[in-house]
């Protein structure tokens, strides 16, 4: 790879003898799809991290009660939002890719990203961009509003021991550690604001082809590739998020609204403005209401001026919620959230 003024160029493009596949013996060719599978999984993971951070940023108003500064389709701007402090534990390939994507797509400023790794000297390129890289998990946990766990499964217990007493209630731990279920994470961290996307992969004919010759960041600037990462349904690459990622993201957004001091009415006004209205439906039937998020028993005690209750994100991922039921029967909402997801990757 060579990086110039116009971006990254693959100098080996078109030279078949220099491609990775050329050095693989015939008896090992059956393993080649694993390379593509890894690429597609990383692409999806980075895409969903971008969407999640965009959504949280758009819920961080500088002034509560100022109405609704976020017009539909304007989620990428986040120009009237407070900063979001994002940390990454683990400086391997996935951690570096997430950092580069957040910076290169203009989601999070480099100075608002910190990475904790045993070898910070290997992250010189990110440090030159302004990312703070060190090895201090406890300090990172104290500072962060969102933590992406990108470590090895064998390292997770010791890392959780280091950070659990430093996590604020509102800090969201977003785990991309394979093989460690949500229940185990909750036990290790003694924390309820945890998100763990559960990816399912099904190999399909013709899958794992597009985008392999480009960087993850370059792929996520291509809307056709972004559409292939869309959450909640199988795409041609055979990737699906199984554990209510859309619902969890929305409940996390409501928690962020409560943290900002917004009432339930203000929080719903903000979310309704974010979700594009893609069809000329009756306005009253195509707006989020309190009933979409909380049980009917709780509605009577929720006034327009009071905030939503604090939602346990672990519970949201493991049980049916009012929002998951509402989403299943609301075509306008599924369509709007699909458009909102795509809007997260558009630059102003």
Residues in the chain: 348
Structure tokens at 301: 């005690």
Summarised one tens digit per residue, pLDDT across range 173-182 is 999 999 999 9
Q: Which of 68, 260, 63 is nearest to 145 (CA)?
A: 260
Whose structure tokens read 């039937």?
285
Taking residues 322-333, what's their average pLDDT?
A: 93
> Is the per-residue pLDDT at 236 higher than 60?
no
Taking residues 43-69, what's their average pLDDT?
A: 76
Residue 146: which domain range? 33-243
Last residue in a domain, options 243, 261, 276: 243
Taking residues 95-112, what's their average pLDDT?
A: 96
> Is the per-residue pLDDT at 162 higher than 90?
yes
Domain-located, residue 37: yes
Within this chain, do residues 253 and 220 fall inside the same structural domain, yes or no? no
Domain-located, residue 187: yes
CA distance 229 to 246: 13
Within this chain, do residues 109 and 256 fall inside the same structural domain, yes or no? no
Last residue in a domain, options 220, 243, 266: 243
Within this chain, do residues 182 and 208 fall inside the same structural domain, yes or no? yes
Last residue in a domain, options 206, 226, 243: 243
Classified as helix, coil or strand, 223 is: helix
Structure tokens at 298: 């709780």
pLDDT at 39: 79
Mark residue 211 as left, alpha or beta (left: phi above 0; alpha: psi -120 to 50; beta: remaining).
left
Classified as helix, coil or strand, 166 is: helix
Domain-located, residue 303: yes
- Tally of domains within the chain: 2
DSSP per residue over 245-277, as a string?
HHHHHHHHHHHHHHHTT--HHHHHHHHHHHS--
Q: How confident is the model at residue 199 (pLDDT cuts 50, 70, 90)?
A: confident
Return the CATH number at 85: 3.40.50.720
Within this chain, do residues 189 and 314 fall inside the same structural domain, yes or no? no
pLDDT at 95: 97
Q: How confident is the model at residue 49 (pLDDT cuts 50, 70, 90)?
A: very high
Q: Residue 128: CA atoms inside 13 Å, Cβ hemisphere, count? A: 5
């Amino acid at each position: 790879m060579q990086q110039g003024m116009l971006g990254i160029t693959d100098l080996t493009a078109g030279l078949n003898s220099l491609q990775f596949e050329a050095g693989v013996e015939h008896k090992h060719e059956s393993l080649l799809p694993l390379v593509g599978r890894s690429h597609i999984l990383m692409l999806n993971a980075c895409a969903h991290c971008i969407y999640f951070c965009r959504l949280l940023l758009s819920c961080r108003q500088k002034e509560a009660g100022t109405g609704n500064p976020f017009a539909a389709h304007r989620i990428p701007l986040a120009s009237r939002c407070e900063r979001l402090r994002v940390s990454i534990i683990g400086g391997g390939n996935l951690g570096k890719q997430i950092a580069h994507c957040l910076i290169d797509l203009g989601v999070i400023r480099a100075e608002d990203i910190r990475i904790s790794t045993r070898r910070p000297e290997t992250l010189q390129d990110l440090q030159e961009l302004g990312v703070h890289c060190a090895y201090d998990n406890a300090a990172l946990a104290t500072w962060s509003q969102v933590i992406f766990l990108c470590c090895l499964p064998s390292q997770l217990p010791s890392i959780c021991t280091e950070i659990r007493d430093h996590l604020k209630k509102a800090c969201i731990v977003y785990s991309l550690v394979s093989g460690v279920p949500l229940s185990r994470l909750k036990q290790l961290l003694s924390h309820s604001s945890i998100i763990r996307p559960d990816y399912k992969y099904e190999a399909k004919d013709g899958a794992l082809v597009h985008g392999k010759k480009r960087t993850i960041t370059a792929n996520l600037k291509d809307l056709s590739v972004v559409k292939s990462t869309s959450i909640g349904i199988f795409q041609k690459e055979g990737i699906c998020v199984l554990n209510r990622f859309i619902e969890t993201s929305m409940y996390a957004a409501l928690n962020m609204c409560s943290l900002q001091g917004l009432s339930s009415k203000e929080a719903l006004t903000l979310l309704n403005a974010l979700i594009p209205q893609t069809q000329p439906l009756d306005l009253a039937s195509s707006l989020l209401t309190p009933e979409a998020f909380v049980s009917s028993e709780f509605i009577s005690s929720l006034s327009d001026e009071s905030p939503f209750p604090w939602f346990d994100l672990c519970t949201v991922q493991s049980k049916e919620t009012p929002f998951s039921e509402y989403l299943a029967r609301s075509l306008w909402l599924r369509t709007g959230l699909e458009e909102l997801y795509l809007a997260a990757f558009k630059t102003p």
